[in-house]
Chain A
Amino acid sequence: MKVLMFGWEFPPHISGGLGTACYGLTQSLRQHDVEIILVIPKLHGDEPDMKFDLINASHVTLRKKSVASVSMAAAGLEIDIADEPANSGKPAEFVVDGPAAHLKRPVYTTRETGDLTTVEIPSYLSPYVNPAMSVLPKSMTVSARQQEPSIVERDEKSERRTDMNTEYTYKDNDKRNHDNTDHHHADTDTVGKPPQEESYFYAFSGKYGPDLLEETKYYAEVAAEVARHHTFDIIHVHDWMTFPAGLAAKKASGKPLLVHVHSTEFDRSGESIYPPVFEIEKAGLEGADGIVAVSGWTKRIVESRYHIAPSKVKVAYNGVMPREITPLTHGHPFGDHVVTFLGRLTYQKGPLYFVKAAYQVLEKFPDAHFVVAGSGDMLPQVIEEVAHLRISTRFHFTGFLKGDNVEKVWSMTKVYVMPSVSEPFGITPLEAIQAGIPVIVSNQSGVSEVMSHVIKVDFWNTHALANAICNVLAHESLSATLRENSKQEIQDITWSKTAKKIKTIYHELTT
Chain B
Amino acid sequence: MSSQPNPTPKPIVLYFQAHQPWRLRPFHFFEIGSKADGFDNTQNEAIVRRITRQCYLPANKILLDLILKFPQIRITFSISGTLLDQLKQYCPEGLASFKALAETGAVEFLAETDFHSLASLLPGTEFEEQVLDHVARLQEYLGVRPAVFRNTELIYNNDIAKKVHALGFDGMFLDGIDAVLQGGSPNHLYEHPEEKGMKLFLRNYFLSDDIAFRFQEFGKKLTVGKFMSRLKSIPQDDTLITLGLDYETFGEHHKEETGILNFLTDLLVCLAKDKHYNLVTPSEAIQQLQHTPALHVPDTISWADAERDLSAWLGNDMQQDAFETMAHLEGRIKAMNDPTLTDRWRRLMTSDHFYYMSTKRNSDGNVHAYFSPYASPYEAFMNYMNVLQDFVHTVKEKEKELATFPKKAL
Interface, chain A (partner B; CB < 8 A): 360, 363-364, 452-456, 463, 466-468, 470-471, 474-478, 480-482, 484-485
Contacts and interface: CB of A to CB of B under 8 A. Distances in A.
Interface stretch (B116-124, B184-192, B248-256, B372-380): B372-380
Contacts of A360: 30
Given A360-B30, A456-B375, A467 B382 contact: yes
11 contacts: A360-B30, A363-B30, A455-B382, A456-B375, A463-B28, A467-B386, A471-B381, A475-B381, A477-B316, A481-B378, A481-B381
A456 B375 CA distance: 9
A481 B29 contact: no
Interface of B: 28-30, 316-318, 320-322, 359, 361, 375-379, 381-382, 385-386
Given A452-B376, A482-B378, A475 B385 contact: yes
A453 B378 CA distance: 8
Given A466-B29, A467-B28, A475-B385, A455 B321 contact: no
B30 A466 contact: yes
Given A463-B30, A477-B317, 19 more contacts: A360-B30, A364-B30, A452-B376, A455-B376, A456-B375, A456-B376, A463-B28, A471-B385, A471-B386, A475-B321, A477-B318, A478-B321, A478-B378, A478-B381, A481-B316, A481-B377, A482-B378, A484-B317, A485-B359
Report whether over half of chain B's contact residues are helix, strand or loop; otherwise say mixed. Answer: helix
Report whether over half of chain A's contact residues are helix, strand or loop; otherwise say mixed. Answer: helix
B379 A455 contact: yes
A481 B385 CA distance: 15
Nearest to B375: A456
A477 B379 contact: no
A474 B392 CA distance: 15
B362 to A, nearest CB: 12
Nearest to A488: B361
Contacts of A478: 317-318, 321, 378, 381-382, 385
A467 B321 contact: no
Nearest to B360: A485
Nearest first, the 9 A-B pairs at minimum CB distance are A477-B321, A477-B317, A470-B29, A471-B382, A467-B29, A481-B318, A480-B317, A477-B318, A481-B317
A455 B382 CA distance: 10
A364 B29 contact: yes
A152 to B, nearest CB: 56
A208 B320 CA distance: 54
A492 to B, nearest CB: 10
Contacts of B379: 455
A485 B365 CA distance: 13
Contacts of B29: 364, 466-467, 470-471, 474
A452 to B, nearest CB: 7
Contacts of B321: 475-478
B199 to A, nearest CB: 40
A359 B178 CA distance: 55
A480 B320 CA distance: 12
Nearest to B321: A477
A481 B317 CA distance: 6
B359 A481 contact: yes
Contacts of A476: 317, 321
Contact of B359 (A453, A466, A468, A470): A453
B326 to A, nearest CB: 13
A429 to B, nearest CB: 14
Contacts of B376: 452, 455-456
B382 A468 contact: yes
A485 B318 CA distance: 12
Nearest to B378: A455
Contacts of B320: 477
Contact of B318 (A467, A468, A470, A475): A475
Contacts of A470: 29-30
Nearest to B317: A477
Contacts of A468: 378, 382
Contacts of B377: 481
B357 to A, nearest CB: 9
